[in-house]
Structure 1
């Protein structure tokens, strides 16, 4: 019975989370058109809404730990569910992502993405897009910010091992900026697939930054060790049983 009630609460939460995107986008649209700051404010408002409703609708508290970067850096994060995207973006002041160029043409979503500084790329031309972004920021034609990437390329369920993509190392080298690793345990409470959401405390933790200039291979080794080691600790804290590969609430 308890599981059934939580499943229904999770379903209601999931539906409202996506439905509310549209009214927030419409409310902030005039400001977003006038200034990129309006688009950023809209996205931050949405992140706050999701975290607030998660707390009282499904019993999922959220906690951001560590030193959140405010300068121009690369943020390389563990990705387990939509909630870690919400928490990381909501924490940094000017987050942006690399996106497929076709998403530019998605109604509302595409325009908001461009306004917050996301970088549209064609297949095989990411290097050109990154160089243009860095040039635009240096010339004052674009806002500086925190480029958020997911080093394993997709959502990875707790307990699953997956390689770190070489693209993260390439970006680190191309951008010549510090990198801030981010660990999380969100997947213990918010699975990669399915409706059910577990009560507990979801955490994203910004880890000590890796300075620019390391050899690419050394950077990748350091990044993976930091993110995987701390994510495992956070998942254990949330009640993940590595021996059984099952999830438990942390209270």
Structure 2
């Protein structure tokens, strides 16, 4: 049954994503507000497909704070990369550069405010990422980053990537750690999805100005809260 549901999800969601991307491109020609409206309708559609077709629902633990923050989250599935647009107020996501090469979608991701990072680009790539981040922050938007760098399997707790501490120091914003449990229903690199609950656990903001070792240790511990239970 899970395989049948997953196949139906792929046909419905990905099939209808193509006209949605076209609609967003048309909206972009009219301005960011029109484009954003289409994008938010698309991510709500994604949430609906996950619930109605796959039987996956979302639970929130803790309080989602208002204001401008650096949100640092666990990353186990593609699900949360889209659902953050449902949960937060126009967040600017840090995403791998390869995603911006997807025809149509990649251009929209950059136009929306996505902060592309070339993980093999060294110091030059970091400077470009920080420049783009400053532009986003000037608009009053929050930033979402997956500080471990990539999707991981449930139970895995890799160290944070070096770029996180640099971003924390540069943006000067409190950090909101988010533990996420999603990999059990949306397995990495597998097309079959399973019914269940995706849980977002929001923690209290961590203040600015902490030494690198301390901020990395606190964020790493909190985003892996589910893994350490």
- Bin the TM-score by the shorter chain: 0.7 to 0.9
Distance 1:212 1:23 in 2: 42
Task: Indicate which of 150, 174, 179 corresponds to 2:170.
Answer: 174
The structure whose RCO (Cα within 8 Å, separation 6+) is larger is 2
How much does 1:70 deviate? Answer: 4.3
Matches within 5 A, 1:166-245: 166-230=162-226, 232-233=228-229
Q: What is the CA deviation profile of residues 40-61 of structure 1, one whole-angstrom value per residue up to 9, with x for unaligned ones?
A: 3222212111111111212111
How much does 1:181 deviate? Answer: 1.0
Question: How many residue pairs were aligned?
Answer: 226
Corresponding residue number in structure 2 for 1:145: 141
Q: CA separation of 1:64/1:98 partners in 2, compared to 1, >3 Å: closer, same or farther? A: same
My pick for the range that moved more, 223-232 or 183-192, is 223-232
Corresponding residue number in structure 2 for 1:242: none
Task: Indicate which of 55, 58, 65 corresponds to 1:62.
Answer: 58
Corresponding residue number in structure 2 for 1:132: 131
Corresponding residue number in structure 1 for 2:152: 156
Instruction: Tell whether the 8 Å contact from 2:130 to 2:167 is kept in structure 1 after alignment.
Output: no
Instruction: Tell whether the 8 Å contact from 1:78 to 1:183 is kept in structure 2 after alignment.
Output: yes
The structure whose Rg is larger is 1
The normalised TM-score by structure 1 is 0.80
Q: SS of 1:61's equivalent?
A: strand
Instruction: Tell whether the 8 Å contact from 2:165 to 2:216 is kept in structure 1 after alignment.
Output: yes
| RMSD after superposition | 2.3
Q: CA separation of 1:149/1:31 partners in 2, compared to 1, >3 Å: closer, same or farther? A: same
Q: What is the CA deviation profile of residues 83-106 of structure 1, one whole-angstrom value per residue up to 9, with x for unaligned ones?
A: 121222321111223345575554
Distance 2:145 2:36 in 1: 18
Q: CA separation of 1:117/1:24 partners in 2, compared to 1, >3 Å: closer, same or farther? A: same
Q: SS of 1:218's equivalent?
A: helix
Q: CA separation of 1:101/1:166 partners in 2, compared to 1, >3 Å: closer, same or farther? A: closer
* Structure 1, gaps ≥5 residues long: 234-251
Distance 1:165 1:135 in 2: 20
The normalised TM-score by structure 2 is 0.87
* Structure 2, gaps ≥5 residues long: none
Distance 2:179 2:67 in 1: 19
Task: Indicate which of 11, 16, 19 corresponds to 1:20.
Answer: 16
Instruction: Tell whether the 8 Å contact from 2:157 to 2:224 is kept in structure 1 after alignment.
Output: no
